[in-house]
Amino acid sequence: MPSISPDCRGTIPYMRTKTLPANVSAQLLRSAKKVMKNAHAPYSKFRVGAAILLSNGKIFSGCNVENASYGMTNCAERTAIFTAVAALGPKIEIRAVSVVNDQGVPCSPCGACRQVIYEFGPDATIFFQSADGPKQAHITELLPEGFRLQ
């Protein structure tokens, strides 16, 4: 299993299988839990971590970063995606996303994050905590008819 560097990047030597191997989804979950600890969430006290698996096997992660001007808050999912784009450029393809929170409560990606995931991962699988426990869903189940310009 590849090691995750401090900024939570890693590479997995396989790709393009339809179902994620259990060890890979477990690794995504671990990355999300690890980065969650870095959240800046003094206002909501709700720490969130997200990890994304790219089609090239790399993993990026991000946490929520709140602001005294609440609307400036960045969700964990978007932090992870923007970090990946900053590192690799805009041609990334998201295969899977894992989202966790420190309250152990249901937390699927918000609407804004669903649209951002869709931009880079129209075939992505999302792992999250639902009201019925851990769940996985295709991005188009969470965001039917997502917006695209091309």
Active site residues: 77
Q: For binding to ligand THU (CB under 6 A), which residues are involved? A: 41, 44, 46, 48, 64, 66, 73, 75-77, 99, 107, 109-110, 113
Exposure string for 85-101, b = 16+ CB within 10 A, e = fewer: eeeeeeebebbbbbbbb
Give least dist CB 150 to ligand THU, A.
27
Distance of CA 45 to the CA centre of its chain: 19
Q: Which helix (H) or strand (E) holds 125?
A: strand 125-130
Nearer to ligand THU, 23 or 67 (CB): 67
Nearer to ligand THU, 109 or 121 (CB): 109
Tell me the CA distances in angstroms from 80 to 61, 128, 149, one per residue in order: 4, 15, 23
Nearer to ligand THU, 66 or 118 (CB): 66
Give least dist CB 68 to ligand THU, A.
12
